[in-house]
Structure formats: C-alpha cells, structure tokens
C-alpha cells in the first residue's frame, strides 16, 4: 500500500520489498507532536546512525546541536518564520556544516588550511550534513518518532549562528524537529514524481521524463485538495523559485556565508 501512496498511483508496484524499504516509503513530515519526550538514549541512537552515513574523504564536516530548552527553541522558531512545531518538538536538532573543526586541527598543527575557502569544500560540508541528517531521520522513524526538516534555519543564518554560539567556518544548514507523532494530525504520504520522471537510462532525456509531469500534477493537486492546499506541483515549483522575493531572504546567503567564514570562492 505504501508504494501506491508514495506515487499516488493505484497501479504502482515494486517487485523487490523489505522492511527497510517499507519504512522509507512510509516517510512523511510530522508537524504535530505529543508531549512524550525523545529520550537521551533515543537521541544517541539517532546520532550514531547519522555518523554512519557516507562522508567525503572521511572529513566528517558536520556537527549537530540538540536544543531542548523551550526559550531557545522559541527564539529559533521566531527566526524560522514562527513555525510552531519547533516549539512543540521534544528536541530540535540543528545540523551544522562544520569546517571549524578542521581549522582548529590546522591551527594546532601550525599548518595552512586555505582549502576551506573554496566552493568545493562548502559543497562537501552541505552534502555530508544532508547525508547524515537523512540517516538520522530513518533511524528516528524506525523508533516510532516523527520528524520534519526546517530549511528556514537559512533565513537568518547569522542570527542562528549567534544563538547557537557557532564558531567561524560553521553554519546551520537546516533544522530537524523530532518528537512523538500526534495521531490526530491531518496528514498523509505526499506523492512523489513518477519514477520515470526522475530515472533516466544511460543519458538524460527530458522529453521522455517530462511527459509524465501532467499526470503527476493531477495526482498532487488531488492530494493537496484533500488537505486544503492549493495548486499542483508545476505551479508550486514555479512560484517557489520565481525570484529573490520567493526565497525568504536566502538570496543573500552567499554574502552571509562569507561573513560566517565560508567565502566559497
């Protein structure tokens, strides 16, 4: 059933299936939590899973800050467009692209570290952080917890850095609210693009892939209507990426990264 929900297609099927894939197919964002806490033992397991993700050249260029203090969560929520579920989460994890650790290593060794100033290394940091966080999400869901990513940590990265006392060369990539899902939340598994729209064979063929978009627009529009949301997928993509005015302040991110010690030349 989850493969049908994942694609919003009654004819969707998989010939290969197991418990891990079933867990991944059932993923959804959870924005309403009960008061049941995430234990320190659960948090430790989630972080261990995160640390088991692939990492470029074993640089391990990330850190994570677990925020439980209600006042700090409230301040972070205010910086993230006032998203109330941050306050309601048991723990709010802020995932940090962390090149400061490498800088400290170089300082102690008395060696230069100019490579952190380049775009490639910034990309490595963001990729490593995202891989780790997605491992954490799967681990949390395997424990019966719910999660939702918060990209709005990038709306005000300098203020977030100050709140979390981040050192130079460290920046919050995104947040992750974790808690026990409230069963009363009106939400479902959001359909994704058809497999044929994203899976290319040997070479990229846009005319073949894009032929599946109209059907997907219909499926996502139907899903959105069920939950009181407007528009289909194509409309929402174009609106979200229309220009600087639709980026919630993140069009200034390059300059902000430079001020935080990541010039990304």
SS (H, E, C) the chain: CHHHHHHCCCCCCCCCCCHHHHHHHCCCCCCCECCCCCCHHHHHHHHHHHHCCCCHHHCCCEEEEEECCHHHHHHHHHHCCCCHHHHHCCEEEEEEEECHHHHHHHHHHCCCCHHHHCHHHHHHHHHHHHHHHHHHHHHHHHCCCEEEEEHHHHCCHHHHHHHCCCCCCEEEEEEEEEECECCCCCCCCCCCCCHHHHCCCCCCCHHHHHCCHHHHHHHHHHHHHHCCCCCCHHHHHHHHCCCHHHCCCHHHHHHHHHHCCCCCC
pLDDT tens digits along 80-136: 999 999 999 999 999 999 999 999 999 999 999 999 999 999 999 999 999 999 999
Q: What range does the domain containing 44 cover?
A: 29-185+250-259
> What are 171's two structure tokens?
């920046």
pLDDT higher than threshold 90 for residue 44: yes
The pLDDT-based confidence of 49 (bands split at 50, 70, 90) is very high
Q: How far apart are CA 164 and CA 160, in angstroms?
A: 6
Residue 212 covered by a domain: no
Mean pLDDT value of segment 197-207: 98
Q: Is residue 16 part of a domain?
A: no
Domain annotation covers residue 94:
yes
- Asked if residue 5 is part of any domain, the answer here is no
Residue 244 forms part of a structural domain: no
Partners of residue 172 on adjacent β-strands: 96
Residue 9 within any structural domain of the chain: no
Q: Does 244 have pLDDT greater than 80?
A: yes
- Evaluate whether residue 111 is within a structural domain: yes
Please list, in sequence order, all residues whose beta carbon lies within 8 angstroms of the beta carbon of residue 143, skipping any fewer than 6 positions away. Answer: 42, 45, 46
Instruction: Name the percent of the chain lying above pLDDT 70.
Output: 100
Please give the average per-residue pLDDT across 223-242, as a whole number.
94
**What is the spatial distance between Cα 87 and Cα 73, in angstroms, rounded to a whole number?**
6
**How far is it, in rounded angstroms, from Cα 214 to Cα 234?**
9
Instruction: Report the pLDDT value the prediction gives residue 1, as an integer from 0 to 100.
Output: 67
CB-neighbour burial class of residue 54 (10 A; exposed 0-12, middle 13-18, buried 19+)? exposed
d(CA 80, CA 100): 24
CA angle 188, 93, 42 (to 5 degrees): 80
Give the model's pLDDT for residue 208: 97
Q: What are the pLDDT digits (tens) for 138-169?
A: 999 999 999 999 999 999 999 999 999 999 99
Task: Give the chain's mean pLDDT.
Answer: 97
Question: Is the distance from CB of 257 to CB of 171 less than 8 angstroms?
Answer: yes
Distance CA 97, CA 157 (A): 12
Give the chain's end-to-end CA distance (angstroms, integer): 47
- Could you tell me the CATH number of the domain that includes residue 151? 3.40.109.10
Residue linked to tokens 């050192």: 167
In a domain, 213, yes or no: no
Domain count, the chain: 1
């Amino acid at each position: 059933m989850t493969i049908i929900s994942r694609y919003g297609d009654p004819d969707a099927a998989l010939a290969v299936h197991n418990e891990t894939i079933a867990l991944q197919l059932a993923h959804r964002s959870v924005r309403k939590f009960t008061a049941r806490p995430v234990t320190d033992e659960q948090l430790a397991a989630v972080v261990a899973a995160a640390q088991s993700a692939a990492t470029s050249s074993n640089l391990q260029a990330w850190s994570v800050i677990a925020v439980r203090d209600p006042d700090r969560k409230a301040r972070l929520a205010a910086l993230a467009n006032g998203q109330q579920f941050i306050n309601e989460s048991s723990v709010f994890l802020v995932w940090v692209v962390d090149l400061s650790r490498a800088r400290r290593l170089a300082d102690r060794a008395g060696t230069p570290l100019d490579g952190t100033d380049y775009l490639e290394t910034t990309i490595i940091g963001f990729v490593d952080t995202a891989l780790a966080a997605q491992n954490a999400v799967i681990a949390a869901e395997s424990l019966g917890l719910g999660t939702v990513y918060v990209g709005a940590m990038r709306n005000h990265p300098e203020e977030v850095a100050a709140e979390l006392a981040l050192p130079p060369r460290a920046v919050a990539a995104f947040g992750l609210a974790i808690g026990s899902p409230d069963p009363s939340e009106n939400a479902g598994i959001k359909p994704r693009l058809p497999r044929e729209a994203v899976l290319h064979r040997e070479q990229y063929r846009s005319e073949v892939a894009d032929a599946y978009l109209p059907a997907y627009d219909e499926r996502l529009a139907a899903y959105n209507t069920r939950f009181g949301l407007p528009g289909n997928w194509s409309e929402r993509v174009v609106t979200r990426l229309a220009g600087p005015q639709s980026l919630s302040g993140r069009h200034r991110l390059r300059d902000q990264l430079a001020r935080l010690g990541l010039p990304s030349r």
